[in-house]
Amino acid sequence: EAIDVSKHFSVANGIGDAAVVRAVEGVSLRLLPGRIVAVVGESGSGKTTLARLLARFYEPTTGEIRLAGAPVGRTRRARSEKTYRKAVQLIFQDPFGSLNPLHRVRHNLERAIALHHGRMSRQARDERVASLLERVSLVPASDYLDKFPHELSGGQRQRVVIARALAVEPRVLLGDEPISMLDVSIRLEMLNLLDSLRREEGLAILYITHDIASARYLCDDIVVMYAGQMVEAGPKDEVISNPQHPYTKLLVESSPDPHRDVAVDREAIFGDADELGEPPSLIDPPTGCRFHPRCPFAMERCRTTEPPRAVLAEGRWADCWLHEVGRAEELHEAPMTE
Ligand code: SF4
Distance from the CA of 145 to the center of ligand 1, in angstroms? 53
251-259's contacts with Cβ under 8 Å and 24+ in sequence apart are: 251/40, 251/41, 251/42, 251/212, 251/224, 252/212, 253/336, 255/211, 255/212, 255/213, 256/213, 257/213
* ipTM value: 0.99
- For the Cβ of 270 lying below 6 angstroms from any atom of ligand 1, the answer is no
Give the pairing of strands 204-209 and 36-40.
Answer: parallel
Q: Which of 245, 269, 332 to mutate to test the pocket of ligand 1 (most atoms within 8 A of CB)?
A: 245
Distance from the CA of 330 to the center of ligand 1, in angstroms? 12
- Residue 69: is its pLDDT beyond 50? yes
The 3 state secondary structure assigned to 65-113 is EEECCEECCCCCHHHHHHHHHHHEEEECCCCCCCCCCCCCHHHHHHHHH
Distance from the CA of 232 to the center of ligand 1, in angstroms? 12
- Minimum-distance ligand 1 atom for the alpha carbon of 289: 4
- Residue 274: is its pLDDT beyond 90? no
Distance from the CA of 175 to the center of ligand 1, in angstroms? 30
Rounded CA Rg of the chain: 22
- For the Cβ of 155 lying below 6 angstroms from any atom of ligand 1, the answer is no
- Minimum-distance ligand 1 atom for the alpha carbon of 302: 2
- Minimum-distance ligand 1 atom for the alpha carbon of 327: 8
pLDDT in tens, 206-250: 999 999 999 999 999 999 999 999 999 999 999 999 999 999 998
pLDDT in tens, 155-188: 999 999 999 999 999 999 999 999 988 888 889 9
- For the Cβ of 2 lying below 6 angstroms from any atom of ligand 1, the answer is no
CB 168 within 8 A of CB 199: no
Alpha carbons within 13 angstroms on the beta-carbon side of residue 24 total: 29
Distance from the CA of 298 to the center of ligand 1, in angstroms? 5
Sign of CA dihedral 316, 317, 322, 323: positive
- For the Cβ of 321 lying below 6 angstroms from any atom of ligand 1, the answer is yes
- My answer on whether omega of the bond before 140 falls inside 30° of 0, hence cis, is yes
Mean pLDDT of 39-67: 93
- For the Cβ of 322 lying below 6 angstroms from any atom of ligand 1, the answer is yes
Whole-angstrom Cα distance, residue 198 to residue 204?
6
Distance from the CA of 306 to the center of ligand 1, in angstroms? 9
Task: Give the model's pLDDT for residue 277.
Answer: 58
Mean pLDDT of 128-148: 95
CB 219 within 8 A of CB 36: yes
Task: Give the model's pLDDT for residue 103.
Answer: 94
Mean pLDDT of 37-65: 94
Mean pLDDT of 96-117: 90
CA 182 to chain centre: 17
Short-list 293, 316, 312, 313, CA closest to 226: 293
- Residue 273: is its pLDDT beyond 50? no
What is the total residue count of the chain?
338
- Residue 39: is its pLDDT beyond 50? yes
Task: Give the model's pLDDT for residue 117.
Answer: 80
- Residue 280: is its pLDDT beyond 90? no
- Minimum-distance ligand 1 atom for the alpha carbon of 296: 1
Distance from the CA of 225 to the center of ligand 1, in angstroms? 14
Distance from the CA of 272 to the center of ligand 1, in angstroms? 18
- For the Cβ of 295 lying below 6 angstroms from any atom of ligand 1, the answer is yes
CB 158 within 8 A of CB 164: no
Give the pairing of strands 172-176 and 204-209.
Answer: parallel
- Minimum-distance ligand 1 atom for the alpha carbon of 297: 8
Write the single-letter amino acid at 51.
Answer: A
- For the Cβ of 149 lying below 6 angstroms from any atom of ligand 1, the answer is no
pLDDT in tens, 295-305: 999 999 999 99
DSSP helix/strand/coil, 21: strand
Give CA separation, 148 vs 27, 85, 90, 126, 275, in Å.
Answer: 39, 26, 22, 17, 48
Q: How confident is the model at residue 133 (pLDDT cuts 50, 70, 90)?
A: very high
pTM of the model: 0.90
Ordered by start, the domain boundaries in the chain are 243-338
Report the 10 Å Cβ neighbour count for 296.
14
Task: Give the model's pLDDT for residue 79.
Answer: 57
Strands of the sheet with 70-71, listed across from one edge = 18-29, 2-12, 62-67, 70-71
- Minimum-distance ligand 1 atom for the alpha carbon of 292: 7
Q: What is the mean pLDDT of the chain?
A: 88
Distance from the CA of 321 to the center of ligand 1, in angstroms? 6
Distance from the CA of 85 to the center of ligand 1, in angstroms? 38
Task: Give the model's pLDDT for residue 12.
Answer: 78
> Picking from 98-107, 133-142, 258-267, 304-313, which range would have the lowest pLDDT averaged per residue?
258-267
- For the Cβ of 328 lying below 6 angstroms from any atom of ligand 1, the answer is no
| Higher-pLDDT residue of 173, 262 | 173
